[in-house]
């Protein structure tokens, strides 16, 4: 790689302009399959062309005091080599990051709109009247939550987690127990419990040999929905004391339990059992136990992570 | 409430170390968890015990070399920073 890089640097052309792609987009067209609204316009296109032109020009002529250092051909070559090396490294990382963290799939989980968030929050607090829990199946990409209220998303769990940290800080502050490092401790503790849950559930799914299409990101999304109930409980506890806290937390615990069972049943149990017909065998019984264990762990964790905040 | 991400990492490292030191001949065979005792034919689905034995064997095979590195790093860090 080194001789090739040096030869390219000796040719003298920096690689930067080839990387600039001017977006070909029509701002007025609303594509129904688009995940996000396209806000790029002709103004930003002109700005990008200007930036490319100035990027080309800077190593050649300048009157700055560093001009002497930059005009030296050896350091020029070294700079071009270094930038080409960095570009190659960036390409390598971009190609391989998708193997470990599915970055391209992540954007589907954040494609939400206000209607979806409202409906989902209502579903988390009152799941008893919802009839159809099946996600409309889509081939190789995850279903964008904008199109189906049953699809998992990562927006609500992320926002609820951050709000939980802030509400915990508020609760500690009203009891004169606040200090800034406690916020970091709360965040780290909640993340550690989440990681432990995900690992435990993945391990038990592997041991019971369940063939599901439940990906890790889906699992993180489902396990993150409990933060919504926790926030409600702590806020009520701040306003109305322990009685309000227990009432609202109890209600949210039961709702999350029912929500998780109804959602996971479709993913973990076999199709026949999900339709209500009891199927034979220890395998489906084991899967049912697993679903109930996962759902029962949610209220326990909700209580464990909030009880020390309400006095 | 001292359950932080760092303590989770430490616990995970200790667990993987514990799995790595289970000796095949002296211990696992004596309790019937050896890897040549688990092959239940080409049946429909493997039971939990054979899945566990497969998991132990794969962890031991895959994590042997990375564990050396991670353990050395952990030892040096603990010596320096307590």
Written as tens digits, the pLDDT of chain A (311 aa) is: 454 445 444 444 444 444 444 444 444 444 556 667 666 665 555 455 555 555 454 444 445 555 666 668 888 888 888 899 888 888 888 777 766 677 778 888 888 899 999 999 999 999 998 888 888 776 677 778 888 888 889 999 999 999 999 999 999 999 888 899 989 899 999 999 999 999 999 998 888 877 777 888 889 999 999 999 999 999 999 999 899 999 999 999 999 999 999 988 888 776 545 555 555 566 778 888 888 999 999 999 999 999 888 87
Q: Which residue of A has its CA nearest to B5?
A: A192
Q: Is B77 a member of any domain?
A: yes
pLDDT of residue A31: 56
Number of domains in chain B: 1
Q: Which residue of A has its CA nearest to B44?
A: A209
Task: Give the minimum alpha-carbon distance from A283 to chain B in angstroms, rounded to a whole number.
Answer: 9
CA B70 to chain centroid? 14
Q: Is B42 a member of any domain?
A: no
Q: Is B44 a member of any domain?
A: no
Hey, CA dihedral for A207, A211, A216, A219, is it positive or negative? negative
CB A175 within 8 A of CB A308: no
CA distance A254 to A298: 10
Q: Which residue of B has its CA nearest to A182?
A: B1
Residue from A172, A193, A207 to probe the interface with B (highest B Cβ count within 10 Å) = A207
Q: Is B37 a member of any domain?
A: no
Q: Does B4 touch chain A (CB under 8 A)?
A: yes
Assess: ipTM above 0.85.
no
Non-local CB neighbours of B76 within 8 Å, separated by 6+ positions: none
CA distance A293 to A299: 11
Domain that holds residue B54: 8-28+49-81
pLDDT of residue A23: 44
CA distance A89 to A278: 55
Q: Is B35 a member of any domain?
A: no
Instruction: Name the residue among B3, B45, B48 with its Cβ closest to that of A189.
Output: B3
pLDDT of residue A154: 92
Q: Is B75 a member of any domain?
A: yes
pLDDT in tens, B46-72: 777 888 888 888 888 898 899 999 999
Q: Is B53 a member of any domain?
A: yes
Q: Is B39 a member of any domain?
A: no
Instruction: Name the residue among B4, B45, B51 with its Cβ closest to that of A192.
Output: B4
Residue from A206, A209, A285 to probe the interface with B (highest B Cβ count within 10 Å) = A209
């Amino acid at each position: 790689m080194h001789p090739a890089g040096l030869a390219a640097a000796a040719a003298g052309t920096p690689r930067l302009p080839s990387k600039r792609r001017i977006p070909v987009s029509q701002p007025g067209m609303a594509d129904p399959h688009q995940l996000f609204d396209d806000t790029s316009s002709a103004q930003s296109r002109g700005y990008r062309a200007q930036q490319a032109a100035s990027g080309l020009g800077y190593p050649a002529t300048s009157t700055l005091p560093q001009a002497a250092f930059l005009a030296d051909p050896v350091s020029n070559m070294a700079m071009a080599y270094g930038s080409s090396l960095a570009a190659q490294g960036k390409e390598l990382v971009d190609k391989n990051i998708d193997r470990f963290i599915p970055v391209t799939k992540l954007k589907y989980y954040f494609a939400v709109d206000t209607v979806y968030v409202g409906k989902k929050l209502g579903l988390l607090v009152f799941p008893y009247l919802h009839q159809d829990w099946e996600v409309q199946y889509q081939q190789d990409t995850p279903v964008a939550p904008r199109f189906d209220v049953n699809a998992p998303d990562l927006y609500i769990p992320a926002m609820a987690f951050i709000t939980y940290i802030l509400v915990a800080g508020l609760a500690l502050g009203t009891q004169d127990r606040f200090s800034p490092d406690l916020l970091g401790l709360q965040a780290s503790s909640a993340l550690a419990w989440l990681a432990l849950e995900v690992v435990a559930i993945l391990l038990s799914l592997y041991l019971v040999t369940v063939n599901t299409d439940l990906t890790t990101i889906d699992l993180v999304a489902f396990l993150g929905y409990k933060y919504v109930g926790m926030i409600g409980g702590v806020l009520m506890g701040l306003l109305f004391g322990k009685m309000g806290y227990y009432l609202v937390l109890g209600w949210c615990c039961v709702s999350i339990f029912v929500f998780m069972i109804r959602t996971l049943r479709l993913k973990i149990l076999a199709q026949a059992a999900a339709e209500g017909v009891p199927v034979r065998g220890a395998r489906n019984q084991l899967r049912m136990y697993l679903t109930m264990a996962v759902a029962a762990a949610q209220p326990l964790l909700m209580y464990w992570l909030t009880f020390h905040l309400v006095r | 409430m001292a359950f932080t991400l760092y303590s989770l990492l430490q616990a995970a490292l200790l667990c993987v170390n514990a799995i790595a030191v289970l000796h095949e001949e002296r211990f696992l065979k004596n309790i019937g968890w050896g890897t040549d005792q688990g092959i239940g034919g080409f049946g429909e689905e493997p039971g939990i015990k054979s899945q566990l034995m497969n998991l132990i064997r794969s962890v031991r095979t895959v994590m042997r070399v990375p564990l050396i590195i991670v353990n050395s790093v952990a030892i040096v860090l603990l010596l320096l920073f307590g």
